[in-house]
Amino acid sequence: MSNAQHGGSDEEEDYMSEAFLKSLVSASENPMTKKQNMTYSERRRQKEREHLANLPKPLKEREREAREKGLETAISEENKGMAMLLKMGFKKGGTLGVSKHQEKSSATEQVTSSTLSSGSDALRAPLAIQMKQGRGGLGMDTLKKQKEQEEVEQSLKRAHEAFDVDYRGSKRDQFEHDKLSRHLGAAQAICMQLDVKKAAKDVQEGREENEDTPEPGQEGREFRRMGRSNSFWWIAENTPDDLVGTRMMGLAAPVATTASRGRRNFDLSDDEDGDLEDRKEKRVRLSTPDPIDDVAVEEKEEPEAQWGEKPAYAELTVYEKLEKVVRYLRQEHSYCFWCSAQYYGQQDLEENCPGESEDDH
């Protein structure tokens, strides 16, 4: 019989025949051909999996696995005992004991709350075995299990969330985000440098132009003010307070002393900030020395502020932040971040710089 079949398959089939088509289908399901279709990394991964599966597991692990498998597998129905049991009138899937007992008991079941009160509760499968490890008190295991489960659930949830967004998409986004963050950091550093330089110049000019020139030696204080109102452009995202201090220290030592106090104040302005025009106005006002403490100014400004609904700076995406800083640099300092060059003025900038965005460059 099998010989005949063999003989048949040896001959070449007509390509229109069903047998030929079948062999094609089976070929595609064949693991060998499937293997050929796999990419290198897929093959590598599969090999790795196989290798891991073949590694000898620790004895205790094997013990546990065999035990758990054994405990959940019902005794085979080919077992001799089963045949004997069937001869005694047992029905497969049934229970032992007297059946009339069951009917009678079901009515009174509610009265006695005992878990095993009678026939209707007759066991179908053996009682489970629970192995207690260690000397944890009663309830400790459940507590641990609960915690573990919560953790598992959370990580699952996280994994799910990550998965909801397309995996590759999220990878790309991650890369993009990292790049933007780097740009933002660089832009902020430049902004800070230029602001400081400009402020120094403004102060000098102001001293010449303005009558309310602050006393000499107030430069330090000005820096501080600058730092306070402006440094949110400079601070990299999520930089802790002390780090802000040290970074500023590199540029202007006196700022460092008030950095942490100042920071608290920016938070206020951070929240109000958003629009570039306003920013510019503020910038002008702030950069010119003001008799009133700028905190007070800002507070005063608050009511007339229209940017209530606008997203707070902290809530902006990295891209938006970068956009803002870049635009600020262009407008304030005629500096193009993408050209890495400071132009002589707005006009020079417009004529010689290809454009505002990275893509233009």
Partner 1 sequence: MSDRSQKRAKIEAPKENPYLAHLSPSERLVGGTAAKNPYGLAADHPLANFVIGETTAEQGEAAEEGDINPFTDKPFSDRYKKILAGRRKLPVNKHRKEFLDLIQNNQVVILVGETGSGKTTQIPQFMVFDELPAFKGKKIACTQPRRLAAMSVAQRVAEEMDVVMGQEVGYNIRFEDCTSQKTMLQYMTDGMLLREAMNDPLLSRYSAIILDEAHDRTLSTDILMGLMKEIIKKRSDLKVVVMSATLDAGKFQKYFDDAPLMSVPGRTFPVEIYYTPEPESDYLEAAIFTALQIHRTEDAGDILLFLTGEEEIEDACRKIKAEADQMPDAGPIKVLPLYSTLPPQAQKRIYEEAPPPRTSGGRPGRKVVVSTNLAETSLTIDGIVYVIDPGFSKQKVYNPRIRVESLLVSPISKASAQQRSGRAGRTRPGKCFRLYTENAFMKELIETTYPEILRSNLGTVVLQLKKLGIDDLVHFDFMDPPAPETLMRALELLNYLEALDDDGNMTPLGSMMADFPVDPQLAKMLIASPQYGCSNEIMSIVSLLNVPLVFMRPPDQRKMADEAKAQFSHPDGDHLSLLNVYHAYKTSGEDQKWCYDNFCNYRTLKSADNVRTQLKRYMERCDLDLVSLPFDERPKGSYYTGIRKALAAGYFMQVAHQERSGNYLTVKDNQVVRLHPSSCLDHNAEWVIYNEFVLTNQNYIRTVTEVKAEWLLDIAPNYFDLDSFPNCEGKRVLEKLIQRRKAGGGDRDRERDYDRDESRSKSRKSDRSDKDRKEKRRR
The residue within the footprint of partner 1, chosen from 19, 21, 96, 243 (CB under 8 A), is: 96
For the CB of residue 149, give the shortest distance to partner 1 in the complex, in Å: 15
Residues 226 and 286: beta-carbon distance below 8 Å: yes
Closer CB to partner 1, 67 or 261, in the complex: 67
Which range, of 41-49, 87-95, 196-204, 344-352, touches partner 1 by CB under 8 A? 87-95
**Is residue 55 close enough to count as binding partner 1 by CB under 8 A?**
no
Q: Which of 276, 361, 265, 356 is nearest to 316 (CA)?
A: 276
For the CB of residue 51, give the shortest distance to partner 1 in the complex, in Å: 18
Segment 128 to 167, residues that bind partner 1, using CB under 8 A: 129-140, 142-143
The residue within the footprint of partner 1, chosen from 16, 55, 125, 292 (CB under 8 A), is: 125
Residue at token pair 């891991």: 52
Closer CB to partner 1, 25 or 59, in the complex: 59
The pair of structure tokens assigned to 252 is: 């202007």
**Is residue 116 close enough to count as binding partner 1 by CB under 8 A?**
yes
**Is residue 126 close enough to count as binding partner 1 by CB under 8 A?**
yes
Closer CB to partner 1, 16 or 107, in the complex: 107
Q: Which of 306, 312, 308 is nearest to 281 (CA)?
A: 306
Query: How many positions of this chain bind partner 1 (CB under 8 A)?
Result: 64
Collect all residues with Cβ–Cβ distance below 8 Å to 307 and sequence separation of at least 6: 272, 273, 274, 275, 278
**Is residue 123 close enough to count as binding partner 1 by CB under 8 A?**
yes
The residue within the footprint of partner 1, chosen from 7, 10, 54, 80 (CB under 8 A), is: 80
**Is residue 169 close enough to count as binding partner 1 by CB under 8 A?**
no
Q: Residues interacting with partner 1, by CB under 8 A?
A: 56, 59-60, 62-63, 66-67, 70-75, 78-85, 87-90, 94-99, 101, 105, 108, 111-119, 121-127, 129-140, 142-143
